[in-house]
Amino acid sequence: MNLKQFILPLILLLAGIGFTITGALFKIQRLPNGSLLLTIGTFLEFTALFLAIIKLIKISRQKS
């Protein structure tokens, strides 16, 4: 398994985690757009996991 195939999902996951943490801090401090940052972060994390699962399925189909 080549780890270079998982660069995009990993970058999206890290960006999503960053947005989620920033959004949580914004919500705690009652700054504007905290909910938006939380939504964007969650969406990026979901997209990263979805892409990683698709890549894993493709890899398993190629081996069999």
**Domain annotation covers residue 32:** yes
**Domain annotation covers residue 4:** no
Q: CA quadruple 37, 43, 44, 46: dihedral positive or negative?
A: positive
pLDDT digits (tens, 9 = 90+) for 5-43: 899 999 999 999 999 999 999 999 999 999 999 999 999
Q: CA quadruple 33, 36, 26, 9: dihedral positive or negative?
A: negative
**Domain annotation covers residue 2:** no
**Domain annotation covers residue 18:** yes
* pTM of the shown model: 0.89
Q: Which tokens is 53 given?
A: 């699962």
The total number of structural domains that make up the chain = 1
**Domain annotation covers residue 28:** yes
Q: How confident is the model at residue 63 (pLDDT cuts 50, 70, 90)?
A: confident
**Domain annotation covers residue 31:** yes
In whole angstroms, what is the distance from residue 31 CA to residue 37 CA?
A: 11
- Write the burial class of residue 42 (CB in 10 Å: 0-12 exposed, 13-18 middle, 19+ buried): middle
**Domain annotation covers residue 3:** no
Domain region containing 40: 9-63
